[in-house]
A and B are shown apart, each in its own frame.
Chain A
Amino acid sequence: MLQHTVQTCIHSDTQLKYLLQLADNALILSHRNSQWCGHGPILEQDIALTNIALDQLGQARNLYQYAALLLTEKTGITTTEDQLAYLRDTGEFKNCLLAELPNGDWGQTVMRNFLISSYQFFLYQELQYSNDGQLKAIADKSIKEITYHVRWSADWVVRLGDGTAESHARMVQALELLWAYTGEMLEPCDYELPFIAKQSSFIKAAWEAKIAAVLAEANLIHPTNDWMQSGGKKGIHTEHFGYLLAEMQFLQRAYPGLEW
């Protein structure tokens, strides 16, 4: 557990909550993608997705390091990136539900990556103009990686959506399953508003245009249901999330402070 003072500091600080939300999305998506390591459909794609998972882990680390630095300054208690990743419980994580859903098959995994990476692309483009120098630097560094993630995942969505009868059916299924979780990314919550209020409608429109273009190319019908699931940004997660954290955090929980 994080020390009580540190927890309280996070609860009362919008900037920290905002940074942690960005970091949690990157970390949890990275963890899900890393679960494919050694299980990819072909060696080359196994490496491709593992590379992407490592990119996302790097982005998460930059953001956690920044948050940890701020926490250390504000509370006087030395806080590290590892503590933020490994010692918070489900209710304290702020990632979108979309990031934590199980991987499903390869189609579902690439569809999820496409939906999130496309959002991150337009979001980080805006963050490159942030007043916060550190956040701007992180966005500058991440945007090239994310550009490739969008390209890679969009290629796969088109390849499978416009592929065989079976691959098409699986992509239809994946899209149907994931769609209701996309709205949460696009609607800023209270602690995001001070940072992204002005840009959020542009990000949403750009994301929608990108998704519509790729789905059309992939021969997939754009979903029409607009009821959206949410909760992750507020710490209310799916039943899958506890299992994810149990696996991801096991080592630090069982052997506190362990290093290698």
Chain B
Amino acid sequence: MRLYLQKNHYGDYGDGHAGGLEQDANQDQQKQWPLWEVFMRSKQGLDHKHAGSLHAADATMALENARDVYTRRNEGVSIWVVESKHIHASDPDAAAEFFEPANDKIYRHPSFYDLPDSLKHM
């Protein structure tokens, strides 16, 4: 049996998910609760914003943990949680072809139009 010594700082979730050997990570995950991403809407907010992540055994516990970890200072009135494995991220190495083509297409911004005053949240 292998023992792991991990140094966790307050708010960290260990390095089991950050990388390391594939095999080690899998062994870790069997014992650990899955990771969840937390999105919160503040009282004034219109949309849910990513607040951070946490471990929980299931969705109910994830919501309760999110409540305890992220709303202690009255930050939110609504919480969404989703298991991190269900989030698909763009590849940082592909950032050039993904995002840079938009750099010089300034005409795509609506700044060349006069917006009516009644139009909010633009």
Complex Cα–Cα for A45 and B69 (A): 9
Do A45 and B60 touch (CB < 8 A)?
no
**Which secondary structure dominates where chain A touches chain B?**
helix
Distance, CA A152 to CA B67, complexed state (A):
11
CB-defined contacts of A151 to chain B, threshold 8 Å: 64
B68 engages A44 (CB within 8 Å): yes
Q: Which of B8, B60, B65 is close to A44, meaning CB atoms less than 8 Å apart?
A: B65
Q: Are B68 and A42 in contact (CB under 8 A)?
A: no
Contact call B13/A43, Cβ cutoff below 8 A: yes
B72 interface residue per 8 A CB criterion: yes
Question: CA A48 – CA B54 in complex, angstroms?
Answer: 13
The answer to whether A47 touches B68, judged by C-beta atoms less than 8 angstroms apart, is: yes
Residues of A within 8 A of B68 (CB): 44, 47-48, 51
Which A residues, 15 to 44, have Cβ-Cβ distances below 8 Å to chain B? 42-44
CB 8 Å contact bits of B11-44 with A (1 = contact, 0 = none): 1010000000000000000000100000000000
A42, A43, A155: the one within 8 Å of B64 (CB): A155
Task: Tell me how far the C-beta of B121 lies from the nearest C-beta in chain A, rounded to whole angstroms.
Answer: 32
Q: Report whether B72 and A51 are in contact in the complex, using a CB–CB cutoff of 8 Å.
A: yes
Contacts of A88 in B (CB 8 A): none
Indicate if A159 sits at the interface (CB-CB under 8 A).
Answer: yes
Asked whether, in the complex, the Cβ of A152 is within 8 Å of the Cβ of B72, the reply is no
Residues on A close to B: CB < 8 A?
42-45, 47-48, 51, 151-152, 155, 159
By Cβ-Cβ distance, the 8 closest A-B pairs, closest first, are: A44-B65, A48-B68, A44-B54, A47-B68, A51-B68, A47-B69, A44-B69, A42-B55
22 A-B residue pairs with Cβ-Cβ distance under 8 Å, sorted by A, are A42-B55, A43-B8, A43-B10, A43-B11, A43-B13, A44-B54, A44-B55, A44-B56, A44-B65, A44-B68, A44-B69, A47-B68, A47-B72, A48-B65, A48-B68, A51-B72, A151-B64, A152-B64, A155-B60, A155-B64, A159-B57, A159-B61
